[in-house]
Amino acid sequence: MIRKSTSKQSTSIKICGLTKPSQARSIAEFKINAIGVIGVKNSPRFVTEEECIKIFNEVEKVSSSIEKVLVIANEKVEEIKCINNRSTPPSVIQLHGNESVDYCRELKNKFPTIKLWKAFRLKSINDLENISHYENEIDAILLDAWDEKSLGGTGNRVPIELLINKTFKAPWILAGGISAEIIPEIFSKLKPDGIDASSRLEISPGIKDMKKVESLVREIRA
């Protein structure tokens, strides 16, 4: 669970975009807080329902407390029902599209056992203004970098100057171009409740460099 953090030690770590069950298990053993799988079909990191279940099962073998996050975008509510009925359902649905406040409210009402995270892509200060409308309907905010062609996984960084002295009612997670090298800069200026890393830790889309993953975890926990 992502909670309001008071230090680097309590900052949650999510590694996203996994495609291999074996890597999911190895990364879970680093005692991270969440593992993410992409369910957006046009993503180079997309995994099928069958592979998603395999990945989540491997995570469960390590620890049932690690959040199993499925990233989707602009899905119909009926599809969420199917996802919730899987043999190993996600513990978190991360919405990475243009979902409305009403849509989020409907999901929370229909599927109260699933945590709901909403991603927002930041390009300018204006992009922050809309977030407050969502905070009562979601469990966490994820802030990612804006890209003209992609919803995420670009390796682009969020302009962190937009977030200095910014507060949110809901816990918030910083994504976008995250690697061990930039953690000191982030923590010198911001206090995110969570860190979400994907493409900067990869050998190729969906295949993580385990040394980079370990370095990131070590840097955050140091």
Q: What is the mean pLDDT of the chain?
A: 92
> Can you read off the two tokens belonging to residue 112?
């109260």
Alpha helix segments (H runs only) across the chain: 21-28, 49-62, 77-84, 101-110, 183-189, 210-221
- Contact by Cβ (8 Å): 141, 131: yes
CA angle 208/8/125 to nearest 5° reads 80
Which residues is 150 bridged to in the sheet? Answer: none
Q: For residue range 53-85, what is the model confidence (pLDDT) as tens digits?
A: 999 999 999 999 999 999 999 999 999 999 999
Distance of CA 141 to the CA centre of its chain: 9
> Can you read off the two tokens belonging to residue 151?
């919803």
Domains and CATH numbers, the chain: 8-221 (3.20.20.70)
- Contact by Cβ (8 Å): 139, 117: yes
- Contact by Cβ (8 Å): 220, 191: no
pLDDT at 8 over 70: no
Q: For residue range 168-187, what is the model confidence (pLDDT) as tens digits?
A: 999 999 999 999 999 999 99
**pLDDT bucket at 126, cuts 50 / 70 / 90:** confident
Q: Which of 122, 128, 72, 131 is CA-nearest to residue 97?
A: 72
